[in-house]
Structure 1
Amino acid sequence: MASISNEIRIESSAGEVWKVIGDFATGPSRMAPGFVVDTRAEADCRVVTFADGTVVRERRVSVDHDTRRIVYAVVGGSVHPEHDNAAMQVVADGERRCRLVWTRDVLPDALAAPMAEAMANGLEVIKQTFDGT
């Protein structure tokens, strides 16, 4: 199983960033506008539509407000991995700065490179969204 881990530094407080990242129902559209064009909640899942036309159905695994960590699994959509589980965690780094750590475990291993590239692109949009807010 391939494991991908990316981290960015954001020039906003951990609390402000977590308000968006920790919102399972609407977080993707709010954290990465333009990269994500729609997020729709359905029971314990959300359907996320990306600008490139990719649609994924993600099941909420856990949302831990104390550690500012959200975990979800891709369970359907236009991408069909054997396994795709991800976690995002917001870590305070001072009063007005934080780090966003995004990890993902995926099968088959061949999906790791395109997923890593998509995550890196998404993180750049997320950083632009939050920096200075």
Structure 2
Amino acid sequence: MSKAEASIQLRASADQVWQLIGGFDSLPDWLPAIPESHLSEGGRVRNLKTADGAVIVERLLQFSEAERRYSYSILQGPAPVRDYRATLSVSAEGSTTRVEWSGTFTPDGVSEAEAQQLFASIYRDGLAALKQTLGE
């Protein structure tokens, strides 16, 4: 099992950040690479469309409003991995907020290093977009 992760410190409050990113259907609100998201199965499955037209289907596995965290898996998508599971979390750290995005997966058709680099880049770029959306 391979792993990738990224984190960022933000000046916005943890509540403000979670309000923006905590909804399972909220990716289009802060992630330009995902302009469309539609929920199905009572809000437990999100159907995403990327900026280049690819379709990704993800299932919500765990959600905690109190801990400001959710985990999800990819059911369908173009990524060269299988058994993908990721977690997005928000936590207050003094006067700042830490956002962590991490995932585990099994590379499929690419090397472990390539898969790790792909998802680390997705997470880093996503968190940079979050920072920009928050005006920081």
Which TM bucket (shorter chain)?
0.7 to 0.9
SS in 2 for 1:15: helix
CA contact (8 A) 2:7 2:124 kept: no
Q: Distance in 2 between matches of 1:103 and 1:75?
A: 17
Q: How does 1:80-99 map to 2 (within 5 A)?
A: 81-95=81-95, 97-99=96-98
Deviations 1:69-93 (A, max 9, x none): 1100011133352211000110112
Query: Do structure 1's residue 41 and structure 2's residue 39 form an aligned pair?
Result: yes
Query: Do structure 1's residue 116 and structure 2's residue 120 form an aligned pair?
Result: yes
CA contact (8 A) 1:35 1:125 kept: no
Query: Do structure 1's residue 53 and structure 2's residue 53 form an aligned pair?
Result: yes
Structure 1 residues 90 and 127, CA gap change in structure 2 (3 angstroms): same
Q: Distance in 2 between matches of 1:119 and 1:75?
A: 19
Structure 1 residues 52 and 11, CA gap change in structure 2 (3 angstroms): farther
TM-score under structure 1 length normalisation:
0.87
- Runs of 4+ in structure 1 off by over 2 angstroms are 52-55, 77-81
Give the aligned length: 129
Unaligned ranges ≥5, structure 2: none
SS in 2 for 1:24: coil
Partner residue in 2 for 1:15? 15
Query: Do structure 1's residue 63 and structure 2's residue 63 form an aligned pair?
Result: yes
CA contact (8 A) 1:10 1:131 kept: no
Partner residue in 2 for 1:101? 100
Give the counterpart letter for 2:128 in structure 1.
E
Q: Distance in 1 between matches of 2:116 and 2:132?
A: 24
Deviations 1:29-59 (A, max 9, x none): 1122x22211111112001222233321110
Unaligned ranges ≥5, structure 1: none
TM-score under structure 2 length normalisation:
0.85
